[in-house]
Amino acid sequence: MLIRLWRCSSVYHAIHITLFRPLQEAEGVQLPIEVGSPRNLCFLHASEIMEVIWTYRKAFSLQHSSCVGLLGPYMVVLTLSAQLRDGPHKNEAFVRACQALAEHADNFPVAPYVLAMLKALDMEYQFGFPEEARVILHESNLHPEDLEDIPMEMRITIPLRDRGAAATSESVGELLARWAGPSGEDSQ
């Protein structure tokens, strides 16, 4: 029963994030509910996703999860990476999502790609990831030859509110190729 609840809850929160994340960078948008802005709503749903996942993780293990278990952490890192500059209160959910992705890496090969993408995003756009997340990203293991499996057309939207633009779209394959995966220190 807990497993079904966990999956349903994660999907419920992920759907809300999917609906409102495009609006989180829009200035002056207020929702007709007490949460206020789409940015706050996305943060609340991201936090709830990680609370549910951490409850599951304590009872079982993320090693015994399905691919649905990747949805929550993936949505959280995509959503909160742009919000980390709002303050340290947003760090815990982000760090937990990075940890969950790292724990999924052995069973789901897409997880190291997501971690590599996060590291490259932080290096390229200086999102200000917390040190705990940087440690997790540094320990992730993806080699430049592994990049051949990433479709060049896989794209990620990157909010650039502090750079005078609302957002840009980036090819994940090209981004990772520029930084040579998690060992991007070679490229710096």
Q: Where are the domains of the chain?
A: 2-187
More confident position, 63 or 87: 87
CA distance 124 to 155: 15
The angle subtended at Cα 134 by Cα 131 and Cα 135, nearest 5°, is: 90
CA distance 152 to 150: 6
What is the predicted pLDDT for the residue at 129?
Answer: 93
Look at residue 187 and tell me whether its pLDDT is greater than 50. Answer: no
> pTM score, two decimals?
0.81
Q: Would you say 100 and 73 are in contact if contact means Cβ atoms under 8 Å apart? A: yes
Percent pLDDT > 90 in the chain is 27
Closest of 60, 73, 58 to residue 105, by C-alpha = 73
